[in-house]
Structure 1
Amino acid sequence: MNSRLEDVAGKGLMISIFLYLAIMQAVSIIATVQMREQIDLWGFVLASRVAGLVFLALIVFLTVIRHAPKNVSSGIEPRLTAIAGTFCLMFLVVLPTGSPGIGLRIFASCLMVAGTALSIWCVIYLGRSFSIMAAARQLVIQGPYAIVRHPLYAAEAVTTLGAVVAGWSIWSALLFILWWALQYRRMVNEERILRATFAEYEDYARHVPMVIPTLTPYRPGTAATPTLPAE
């Protein structure tokens, strides 16, 4: 399967999956409003689910209009890692959960809302370069990408940590560690294809940290503004 055909097939699959997830999220929002008297901290729950719906809707929209890839990673490992890293957190719903106190649940809810809001900010800047697989579309270095090279993963880590704290158990903690290991591998795979595609990426990577932000955003020279691919 050539890269163009693979991209079209992947786009169709992503749109189908995330559109379904968005519909399910909308249904859960309706249920949250209808059952608000029975849900603890329902305002936090509603805010988290509304933010999640906006994020999923953005993913569907940006996938529809995304740029064709200029280069893609070869081999099966980057593809399996991307799929596993994207969907392994679904196992959170079947893992044993604990009963954290009200303070921890409020903290977890705040993390989930903040992390999802940050994710929305990241995908807005990522725009038509968004994808699941490691692919070079355009090199985005504005907004959150001027602060860290992989802000979307960092934002998702905040959301995921909130979900883990909300249903705390050793199993959910172990799943979080596995998830982050997969995300780190995705970053490595993406950077490999970026370096192979964009000559200016090396200078960008020297000045911008991977996930821990610095106080000084990256400011490229006045030469042609490059464009970071998808998370």
Structure 2
Amino acid sequence: MAVASVGEIIWVIGVIAWYVIRYPFERRARRVRIVAGGRSRSDTVGLASALFGLAILPAFYVATGIPGAADHPASAWAVALGTIIFCCALWIFRMSHKELGRNWSITLEIRERHELVCAGPYALVRHPMYTSFLLMGLGQIFLLSNWVAGISGLIGFAVLFLLRVDKEERMMLENFGSQYRAYMEKTKRIVPYLY
């Protein structure tokens, strides 16, 4: 089997694993009442961009080979590195969901009896779910031997991050005040010790 095909298969398995991790939390979230926030136009654009870049466009490439003009030679080291990065992304994604529990929401919302979570990956960064999307985008670059499909994940992540993170932090400051401000002083946004 060609190295490029192995990378594509690993990417597909990774995306399926991503959905398997998220699905039970989506189901549970529907049962917890929302007390503040909700989906805005920019929130919808950000989520759609991430979905397009991390799933739709690369899935189209894997299924059709289009745009083949952007293909580049695949290498075993790139697929191995992409697999490691993608696995790390999935682990952080799972741990983030687990720590958030009933507080998790796909949109910017405050749930009934919402608590500030500072444990697990949240002890290192304020937004580990964005960290996982960043890593998924990086892993995608190494797994898919196509410049367009590869980099689309990072672009989708960047749009989501830039449209949401400031709003998310303002919402948390409004809800948790000095407690969140103190948490911000101890942690970085998405890259431990750096940013």
Please report the TM-score for the alignment, with normalisation by the length of structure 2: 0.74
| Mapped partners of 1:40, 1:181: distance in 2 | 27
The DSSP-based 3-state class of the residue aligned with 1:198 is helix
Alignment CA distance shift 1:93-1:45 (3 Å): closer
Checking the alignment, whether the CA contact within 8 Å between 2:72 and 2:145 is kept in structure 1 is yes
Residue of structure 1 in register with 2:64 after alignment:
none
Mapped pair 1:108 → 2:86: no
Residue of structure 2 in register with 1:210 after alignment:
189
Question: Shift in Å at residue 119 of structure 1?
Answer: 0.8
Gaps of 5+ in 2: 62-66
Question: Shift in Å at residue 184 of structure 1?
Answer: 1.9
Residue of structure 2 in register with 1:76 after alignment:
41
Mapped pair 1:141 → 2:118: yes
1:124-156: CA deviations, max 9, x gaps? 001111111111232211211111000111022
Which residue, 159, 168, 188 being the options, matches 2:136? 159
Instruction: Output the amino acid matched with 1:142.
Output: A
Question: Shift in Å at residue 167 of structure 1?
Answer: 0.9
| Mapped partners of 1:85, 1:143: distance in 2 | 24
| Mapped partners of 2:7, 2:108: distance in 1 | 38
| Mapped partners of 2:6, 2:156: distance in 1 | 28
Q: How many residues align?
A: 176
| Mapped partners of 2:106, 2:59: distance in 1 | 22
| Mapped partners of 2:82, 2:121: distance in 1 | 23
Please report the TM-score for the alignment, with normalisation by the length of structure 1: 0.64
Bigger-Rg structure (1/2)? 1
The equivalences for 1:5-24 within 5 A come to none
| Mapped partners of 1:100, 1:158: distance in 2 | 19
| Mapped partners of 2:39, 2:13: distance in 1 | 40
Mapped pair 1:91 → 2:91: no
Checking the alignment, whether the CA contact within 8 Å between 2:82 and 2:138 is kept in structure 1 is yes
Identity among equivalent pairs (%): 19
| Mapped partners of 1:92, 1:44: distance in 2 | 12
The DSSP-based 3-state class of the residue aligned with 2:192 is coil
Q: Quick one: higher RCO (CA 8 Å, sep 6+), 1 or 2?
A: 2
| Mapped partners of 2:157, 2:13: distance in 1 | 25
RMSD: 3.0
The DSSP-based 3-state class of the residue aligned with 1:94 is helix
Which residue, 60, 64, 69 being the options, matches 2:26? 60
The DSSP-based 3-state class of the residue aligned with 1:133 is coil
Mapped pair 1:131 → 2:110: no
123-132 or 184-193: bigger deviation = 184-193
Instruction: Output the amino acid matched with 2:182.
Output: D
Residue of structure 2 in register with 1:224 after alignment:
none
Residue of structure 2 in register with 1:17 after alignment:
none
| Mapped partners of 1:45, 1:75: distance in 2 | 30
Instruction: Output the amino acid matched with 2:123.
Output: A
